[in-house]
Amino acid sequence: MTSRSRWPALIAALLLTLVVISRPIGHAAAAQPSLNPNPNVAATALKYEGSYQGECWGFVKRVVREATGEQMSFDYRQAFFDGGAIEVSLADAQVGDVIQFTDDSNTAAWADYPGLHTAIILTRTSENVFTVIDSNSEFDGIVRIREGFAPISQAAMKGLSFHIYRFPGGGTAATAPAAPTVSAPGFGQQQPATVATPNDCLNLRDIADTSGTIIACMPDGTTLALTGDQAQGSGRTWASVVTPYGAGWVAADYLIPVAPASADEPASQSDPR
């Protein structure tokens, strides 16, 4: 016999099931997705590194809402489509995309089994391996950056599937924000430059060293401004920059300076490869 105290939970579960069933099922993306990568999702997640944010699912939903304004629902698959995402392939996965491990036969909001997990991509480190940021990876509710995240093998170990979702609001190199004009003491004349990290992103740090806090991971083609200051740290040269994500330091090897066009000469339209 069911106790009276369990009725509210059972009723809520039944209502949720009816809502999910009544929604149209989302469709996986074609080979060429219609939405651009959204680095704002990754940049927002990075703000919480080292803090307590609880379970991975709630953390990602909170990040998506803050970064895009979209509200995900409850099901571990349908929630992404309800939040405006599309599904992309592993080969197309980029910064800001979300990796979800699930048992596709059990994605309801109350699902609970080993391996169920949600993570946000920061960079691609090899063909099928990523650096991600997620919460609760060590069952303590803390947000961490993790390297060597391999969806194929890690999902297979738990007998699960994985899906990669992309939310609206991203940009590409062709539509990257213009270099910001900032008048700050000591910055002097700023020169525009672009990030050169094909299929990857470049860490913007608070100090000129790999030990510095990551402010954002800027996608390939992002336009920024060089302040003219440089420093040495962790065996490499760092450039002081002002970016759409804030001011900080980046590895100078991954920047392409953009020469300003003269007054009587149009800007070059050539590919800066």
Domain ranges of the chain: 24-166, 173-257
Spatial distance between the Cα atoms of 237 and 255, rounded to a whole number of angstroms? 11
Has residue 235 got a pLDDT over 70?
yes
Indicate the CATH number for domain 24-166.
3.90.1720.10
Please give the full DSSP string across 21-37, using - where no structure is assigned.
HHSPPP-B--SS-SS--
Single-letter residue type at 192? P
Q: How confident is residue 26, by pLDDT bands cut at 50, 70 and 90?
A: very low
Provide the pLDDT for residue 260.
57
Q: Compute the mean pLDDT over every residue in the chain, rounded to the nearest whole number.
A: 78
State whether the Cα torsion 91-96-97-98 is positive or negative: positive
For domain 173-257, give the fold. SH3 type barrels. (2.30.30)
pTM to 2 decimal places: 0.56
71, HSE (Cβ side, Cα atoms, 13 Å)? 1
Query: In CATH terms, are 24-166 and 173-257 the same topology?
Result: no
Closest by Cα among 21, 45, 93 to 85 = 93
Say if CB 108 and CB 20 are below 8 A apart: yes
CB contact set of 172 (below 8 Å; sequence gap of 6+): 36, 37, 221
Quote the tokens at residue 214: 């990551």
Closest by Cα among 99, 88, 111, 87 to 25 = 87
Provide the pLDDT for residue 126.
85
Q: How confident is residue 146, by pLDDT bands cut at 50, 70 and 90?
A: very high
Q: How confident is residue 259, by pLDDT bands cut at 50, 70 and 90?
A: low
Q: How confident is residue 190, by pLDDT bands cut at 50, 70 and 90?
A: low
What is the spatial order of strands in the sheet that 246-251 belongs to? 214-219, 201-205, 246-251, 236-243, 223-233, 191-195, 255-257
Closest by Cα among 61, 56, 68, 71 to 116 = 56
196 exposure class (CB count in 10 Å sphere: 0-12, 13-18, 19+): middle
Q: How confident is residue 2, by pLDDT bands cut at 50, 70 and 90?
A: very low
Has residue 82 got a pLDDT over 70?
yes
